[in-house]
Amino acid sequence: MLDLIACLAVKMLYLIFRVIPTWIALKLGRRIGALISLVYSPRRSIGYANLRAAFCAQKSPAQIREMLRDTYKRLAETFMEILCLTKVNRKYVDKYITIENPDHFYEAKNRNKGMIYLTAHFGNWELSGMVSALMGYPLYVLAREQKMKRLNALINGLRESKGLKVVTKGITTRYIARALHEGKLVGMVADQDVGKNGVITNFFGRPVSTADGPYRFAAKTDAAILPVFMARIKGPYHRLVIGKPITIGKKEDPKPYIQLYNKTLESFATRYSDQWLWLHRRWKSSPLKKIVVLSDGKKGHLNQSLSVVESFKKYRQDRGGSPENTKVEIIEIRFKNKFFKNLLNLTSIVSGPWCQGCMQCLKRCLTKASYKRLERNYADVVISTGFSLAGVNSIYKYENNAKNAVCMKPGFLGVNKFNMVLLPWHDVRKSMGRDNVIITETTPNLMNNGYLDKAKKTFSKMIKKSKPRTIGVLFGGDNANFKYDERGTSKAIAQVIEASEKLDADILFTTSRRTSQKIEDVVKKRLGKEPRCKFLVIANEKNVPDAVGGILALSDIIVVSGESASMVSESVAAGKKTVVFKGFKKSNKVTKHEVFLNRLLDAGYLSIAKPTDLSEAICSIKAKIENSDMTNDKNWIYRNMWRLGG
């Protein structure tokens, strides 16, 4: 029934547009296209993202949005022009179509072999085939059979009335080969994604899957390939550009010729950016994934994000992907001030697909340098850590039609704006019970054998150990729940020195950027001239890259200040005997960090001691298992990488 209604509707439109002047139909099409471009749809989102990936280095979001609007206008013009095809004849062609490089056509024709008229979803591709037929060169065209049989027959009947010979897909291979052997002209479209079976070539700087069928037909039948593009100049006026004939030997690899055609199409799609079909998923099967990691400048947060990147890379490699096809761009995000930071996080609550093509929130709230880096990049995947960047993550996801992940709680933004939320158990609330929430015991981290081996080689050259054992100390700083004073810190350091003497061990010590000046002074005073301290990093004075990784790699026992879930997680994941001490607690309320530590304590991954009891705890610690590695956490994160489109 629906088929019959659609068929009758199209017939009625054909009758109406037969009497309407073409220029009026095209003007109406432009108006309709402009209106449709304002309505959100998945196709519009795909089209904008494709344009952005191709042109973000040169165009602003507003300019890309305008390009998308023009694309819709041209598509609507093409649709209206198709409704006017009943009026198309040789006189129409002579009036409105300018043929460029006709000598290329005759050059191929004079070979007395078959020809493949190779075009794309560019301009009015339907009209381009009819031009050939109306000029006396009938064209065999491949047509996808529509589900609506009556409508399918009506459309194909119109094509055939203009001299085209329609070949339905499914019976094509033998039929096309015979036509080409007989010297016929066959039309094909060669710009669609064909999945894993296609040939990988580059298109707008990204690898794409392209069908090699036309090129194999050409090689098998000795037919020439004619690249042909129909570009609209203004209204009903077009340029039909015929490229140089391409001939392929029977034993030649078609890939260079596919790349040549893609390069030609790219030049046309750049010059006439509103006339290529950006709305289809041309890069759906692209092996390349670009990850943008948003950094708030905190090393611990960045490492959590990078651990997700590593899981994503491994997931893709295990499925046949190559490492070079996962590109990572780290962009440091800085806000103009605290007010704009809070404003962006607040406004991001209403972020959604409708934000695509705007980015005004980011432009007004971020520093110029941060905004420009976001504007001039595109992303398939966006990853960040912490609440402060959750809003930027969400907005940038929608801007790029990308997948996204966030480590730690995204605050009042909630979990629904993310494809993947990685939360340690102590951060989970009942309201977060969603499929996209991945719950772990520890925070994500980079610790694995490969990372530790690399760090060990690097830092072994910097640090000259003299003792058989090593105690590493990772010292953080004050937070909302804990405070470290000079007296307590001095006692803790004294206990570490005492333990090093009992165990005959060296000391490797690092502070963090959160460590206060007063505490840093205590550390320098106690350890600056301590002979057993072979490595001392004051992060706010000279932040040695990957100092934490180096200390973890070279130490047998790790002492960690307990306010930092990330440092504790890294120590446990590195398989180290871990002793945790806490600063002065600001309230009697049980904190989430204490819940986190107690779960790891109960599981036997670490020991907890007061600053005054550290020496005894260090000397007596026994790990429950030889290598705690937290493989369950890593495996659980790995198994959920499909959520990011891996």
pLDDT band at 171 (very low <50, low <70, confident <90, very high): low
- Cα distance between residue 447 and residue 461, in whole Å: 20
- Cα distance between residue 254 and residue 256, in whole Å: 6
**452 belongs to a structural domain:** no
**590 belongs to a structural domain:** yes
pLDDT > 90 fraction of the chain, expressed in percent and rounded? 62
Confidence (pLDDT) at 626: 44
Give Dmax over CA atoms of the chain in angstroms. 101
**487 belongs to a structural domain:** yes
Please check whether residues 247 and 312 belong to one and the same domain. no
pLDDT at 432 over 80: no
Pick 89 or 279 by higher pLDDT: 279
Per-residue pLDDT tens over the stretch 222-262: 999 999 999 999 999 999 999 999 999 998 999 999 999 99
pLDDT at 156 over 70: no
Expressed as residue numbers, the domain containing 245 is: 2-271
**470 belongs to a structural domain:** yes
**The residue to which tokens 């009335």 are assigned:** 161
Predicted TM-score of the model (pTM): 0.89
**94 belongs to a structural domain:** yes
**277 belongs to a structural domain:** no
Confidence (pLDDT) at 133: 81
Please check whether residues 369 and 230 belong to one and the same domain. no
Please check whether residues 236 and 362 belong to one and the same domain. no
Per-residue pLDDT tens over the stretch 374-401: 999 999 999 999 999 999 999 999 999 9
Residues 6+ apart with CB under 8 A from 99: 131, 240, 242
Confidence (pLDDT) at 47: 96
Per-residue pLDDT tens over the stretch 79-127: 888 888 788 889 988 999 999 999 999 999 898 899 999 999 999 988 8
Please check whether residues 142 and 264 belong to one and the same domain. yes
pLDDT band at 642 (very low <50, low <70, confident <90, very high): very high
CA 566, distance to chain mean position in Å, is: 26
Query: Mean pLDDT across the stretch 481-499?
Result: 92
Q: Which whole-number Å values give the CA distances from 548 to 254, 304, 415, 449, 487, in the listed order? A: 51, 14, 30, 15, 25
Confidence (pLDDT) at 622: 63
Listed residues 245, 271, 297: the one ending a domain: 271
User: Where is 139: in which H helix or E strand?
Assistant: strand 139-143
Confidence (pLDDT) at 431: 54
Query: Mean pLDDT across the stretch 189-206?
Result: 91
Please check whether residues 383 and 254 belong to one and the same domain. no
Please check whether residues 398 and 482 belong to one and the same domain. no
User: Where is 141: in which H helix or E strand?
Assistant: strand 139-143
- Cα distance between residue 187 and residue 195, in whole Å: 22
- Cα distance between residue 257 and residue 244, in whole Å: 12
* CATH assignment of the domain containing 473: 3.40.50.2000
Confidence (pLDDT) at 624: 43
CA 263, 266, 270, 274: dihedral to nearest 10 degrees? 160
pLDDT at 77 over 60: yes
**484 belongs to a structural domain:** yes
Q: Taking phi first (over 0 means left), then psi (-120 to 50 degrees means alpha), and beta for anything else, what does residue 474 get? A: beta
Confidence (pLDDT) at 625: 40
Q: Which two tokens stand for residue 645?
A: 């489109």
Confidence (pLDDT) at 308: 96
Query: Mean pLDDT across the stretch 40-67?
Result: 95
- Cα distance between residue 534 and residue 462, in whole Å: 10
Confidence (pLDDT) at 294: 98
Mean pLDDT across the chain, nearest whole number? 89
Please check whether residues 304 and 251 belong to one and the same domain. no
**395 belongs to a structural domain:** yes
Listed residues 271, 304, 325: the one ending a domain: 271
Confidence (pLDDT) at 627: 45
Pick 57 or 9 by higher pLDDT: 57
Shortest CA distance to 218 belongs to which of 101, 122, 113?
Answer: 113
Per-residue pLDDT tens over the stretch 283-303: 999 999 999 999 999 888 999
Listed residues 240, 271, 302: the one ending a domain: 271
Please check whether residues 263 and 295 belong to one and the same domain. no
* CATH assignment of the domain containing 353: 3.40.50
Please check whether residues 393 and 501 belong to one and the same domain. no
pLDDT at 433 over 90: no
Q: CA neighbours within 13 Å on the CB side: how many for 541?
A: 11
Please check whether residues 437 and 539 belong to one and the same domain. no
Please check whether residues 592 and 463 belong to one and the same domain. yes
Q: Considering its fold, how many domains does the chain have in total?
A: 3
Query: Mean pLDDT across the stretch 465-480?
Result: 90
Confidence (pLDDT) at 348: 93
Please check whether residues 429 and 530 belong to one and the same domain. no
Q: What is the 3-state secondary structure of 55-87?
A: HCCCCCHHHHHHHHHHHHHHHHHHHHHHHCHHH
Length of the chain: 646
- Cα distance between residue 279 and residue 304, in whole Å: 35
